[in-house]
C-alpha cells in the first residue's frame, strides 16, 4: 500500500488537503497515476487521482467521490533529489510522464525531513492522463523545487530566535557601545545616540526594502488566525457553560478571524480545468464558520461578500459562486444550496431542520400580545436572531405548511397563528374551552 511508504495527507470534510503552515497550492492535474520503480521494500501504485503541487509537497488525492474517512498521500519536495524531464517522439502517442528521484530511508519510507544515513534514491513517475496543462505543471514543479520554501521557513524560525536572544544580550550591556568602548561624558552619550539613530535607520531601510519579509510576517498572522479559527470551531462543538462576557469576546474574535483571509485561495491559474471543483470544495470548508454564527443558514449574498473579502485580490464572480454551490450535490459535503419559493437562495447545513424554526415561530405567535396583533418579519428576526429578509422567508414557508395566516395591508405583512384547523366545520359557532382557539377567544373578548 502507498500509505506504508508515503506519508498520509489529512483531508477536510470536503476532500481538500489540510495545508501546512505557509504552504500554498500552485497547480492541479486530474487523472494522474503515481508509480515507482520495482524495488525490494518500496512499491507505490496509485491510479487515476488528483495531483496537487504546492510550495512544499506533491499531494495525490483519491478520485471522486472521495470515500468518507479516506486520506491522500504526498511526496515532500525536500525528499526530491533530482527531476528527470525527457521529451521524445513517444510523447506524441502516449501520456506525458514526469519522473523524479526521491530519498528513501532504510525502513522503506520516504525521507520527509533530511537525508539519513543509509538512504537511497528511488525513481517515481507521474503518468498524466488528464487534459490539464502539463507543461505549466512541470515548470512550476521545477520552480517550487528550486525555490525550497521549506528551507526559508526554517531559516525564519532560526533568525527570529537569534534576534530575540541578541536583543536580550544587548539590553544587559549598559555603559558600553557596539565597539566595546565605555560610554563616558557628553561624547559617549552623543556616540550612543548616533548608534541608536543608525540602527533605527538601518531597520527601517531593511523593512521597506525587503517586501518578502513583510509578506512572510503577514502569512504568519494568517496562519495564526487559521489555527485559532480551527480551535474555535472544535471548541464550539463541546458543551460548556460560558458566561456572556466570554461569549462576547468569542464573537469579537470570530469577526476578526473572518477578516484575515484564506491562506491559499483556489485560482483559475493554479486549478485550470478543475477550478470550479476545487473552488466548490474550498467554499464548503469556508462556510462552516459563518453558518455556525448564523444558526445554520445564511444568505448567498452574505457568503459572496465574506468569501471575496477572505480571498483578498483573488475575487470571484457571482456566476462562479453559484456554480461552485451547485456542485455540492456531486460531493459529500455537509452543506447545501437551497432556493425558496420566492427565489431567494441560501446556504444551509444538511442537518438544518425547518421544524425547529417552525416551533420557535409557533411559540412566538401564540403569546397573548401576538395572538391579537400578529407578528411581522422584524419581530421574527429578533426572535430567531437572523436578518428580516430571511425571517420573512421562514414565515412564508410556515404559511405554506398551514401554520400561519397572512394579512397584507399598506403597513406590510402581518402573520397570525392559523386557527382554522381547530374550528369544527359542522358547528362553526361552538366555543371551545381548550387549545389556541380558546386562548385567542379569551384575549379578543377581554380587549
Helix (H, G, I), strand (E, B) or coil at 298: strand
What's the grid cell of residue 355?
421544524
Pick the range with the lowest mean pLDDT from 209-218, 239-248, 424-433. Answer: 239-248
Has residue 16 got a pLDDT over 80? Answer: yes
Taking only the tens place, the pLDDT of each residue in 360-396 is: 998 898 888 888 888 999 999 888 888 888 899 999 9
Q: Are 321 and 347 in contact (CB under 8 A)?
A: no
- The more confident residue out of 414 and 430 is 414
Has residue 335 got a pLDDT over 50? Answer: yes
389 burial level (CB within 10 Å; 0-12, 13-18, 19+): middle
What's the grid cell of residue 380?
421574527
Average pLDDT over residues 193-206: 75
The CA–CA distances, whole Å, from 68 to 15, 297, 319 equal 9, 24, 29
Q: Which residue has the cell 474574535?
A: 253
Give the pLDDT score at 319.
Answer: 95
What is the residue-wise DSSP string for 209-259? H-HHHHHHHHHHHHHHHHHHHHHHHHHHTS-----HHHHHHHHHHHHHHHT
CA-to-CA distance for 200 and 121, rounded, in angstroms? 49
Share of the chain above pLDDT 70, in %: 68
The CA–CA distances, whole Å, from 414 to 207, 280, 392 equal 61, 38, 10
CA-to-CA distance for 357 and 379, rounded, in angstroms? 14
The CA–CA distances, whole Å, from 176 to 172, 200, 346, 430 equal 10, 18, 67, 102
Mean pLDDT of the chain: 77
Average pLDDT over residues 88-117: 72
Picking from 42, 50, 56, the residue whose alpha carbon sits closest to that of residue 11 is 50
Q: Are 28 and 126 in contact (CB under 8 A)?
A: no
Has residue 70 got a pLDDT over 50? Answer: yes
Give the pLDDT score at 172.
Answer: 45
Helix (H, G, I), strand (E, B) or coil at 435: helix
Beta-ladder partners of 25: 54
CA-to-CA distance for 206 and 92, rounded, in angstroms? 51
Read off φ and ψ for residue 232, nearest 5 degrees. Answer: -65, -40
Amino acid at each position: 500500500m502507498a500509505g506504508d511508504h508515503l506519508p498520509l495527507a489529512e483531508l477536510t470534510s470536503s476532500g481538500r488537503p489540510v495545508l501546512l503552515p505557509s504552504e500554498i497550492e500552485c497547480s492541479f492535474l486530474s487523472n494522474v497515476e503515481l508509480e515507482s520503480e520495482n524495488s525490494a521494500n518500496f512499491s507505490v501504485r496509485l491510479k487515476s487521482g488528483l495531483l496537487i503541487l504546492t510550495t512544499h509537497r506533491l499531494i495525490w488525492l483519491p478520485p471522486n467521490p472521495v470515500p468518507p474517512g479516506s486520506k491522500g498521500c504526498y511526496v515532500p519536495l525536500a525528499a526530491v533529489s533530482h527531476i528527470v524531464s525527457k521529451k521524445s517522439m513517444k510523447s506524441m502517442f502516449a501520456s506525458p510522464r514526469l519522473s523524479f528521484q526521491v530519498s528513501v530511508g532504510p525502513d522503506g519510507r520516504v525521507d520527509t525531513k533530511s537525508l539519513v544515513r543509509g538512504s537511497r534514491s528511488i525513481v517515481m513517475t507521474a503518468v498524466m492522463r488528464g487534459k490539464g496543462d502539463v507543461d505549466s505543471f512541470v515548470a512550476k514543479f521545477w520552480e517550487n523545487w528550486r525555490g525550497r520554501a521549506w528551507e526559508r521557513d526554517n531559516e525564519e524560525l532560526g533568525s527570529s530566535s537569534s534576534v530575540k536572544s541578541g536583543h536580550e544580550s544587548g539590553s544587559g550591556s549598559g555603559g558600553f557601545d557596539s565597539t566595546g568602548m565605555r560610554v563616558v561624558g557628553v561624547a559617549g552619550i552623543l556616540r550612543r545616540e548616533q548608534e541608536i539613530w543608525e540602527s533605527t535607520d538601518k531597520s527601517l531601510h531593511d523593512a521597506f526594502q525587503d517586501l518578502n519579509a513583510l509578506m512572510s510576517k503577514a502569512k504568519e498572522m494568517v496562519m495564526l488566525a487559521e489555527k485559532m479559527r480551527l480551535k474555535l470551531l472544535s471548541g464550539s462543538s463541546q458543551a460548556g457553560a460560558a458566561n456572556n462576557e466570554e461569549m462576547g469576546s468569542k464573537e469579537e474574535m470570530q469577526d476578526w478571524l473572518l477578516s484575515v483571509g484564506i491562506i491559499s485561495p483556489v485560482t483559475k491559474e493554479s486549478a485550470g480545468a478543475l477550478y470550479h471543483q476545487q473552488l466548490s470544495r474550498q467554499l464548503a470548508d469556508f462556510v462552516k464558520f459563518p453558518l455556525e454564527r448564523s444558526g445554520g443558514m445564511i444568505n448567498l449574498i452574505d457568503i459572496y461578500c465574506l468569501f471575496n473579502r477572505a480571498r483578498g485580490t483573488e475575487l470571484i464572480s457571482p456566476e462562479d459562486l453559484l456554480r461552485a454551490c451547485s456542485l455540492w450535490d456531486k460531493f459529500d459535503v455537509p452543506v447545501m444550496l437551497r432556493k425558496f419559493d420566492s427565489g431567494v437562495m441560501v446556504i444551509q447545513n444538511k442537518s438544518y431542520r425547518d421544524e425547529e424554526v417552525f416551533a420557535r415561530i409557533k411559540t412566538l405567535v401564540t403569546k397573548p400580545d401576538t395572538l391579537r396583533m400578529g407578528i411581522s418579519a422584524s419581530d421574527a428576526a429578533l426572535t430567531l436572531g437572523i436578518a428580516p429578509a430571511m425571517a420573512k422567508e421562514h414565515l412564508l414557508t410556515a404559511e405554506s405548511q398551514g401554520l400561519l395566516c397572512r394579512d397584507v395591508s399598506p403597513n406590510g405583512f402581518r402573520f397570525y397563528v392559523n386557527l382554522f384547523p381547530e374550528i369544527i366545520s359542522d358547528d362553526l359557532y361552538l366555543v371551545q374551552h381548550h387549545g389556541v382557539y380558546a386562548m385567542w377567544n379569551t384575549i379578543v373578548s377581554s380587549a
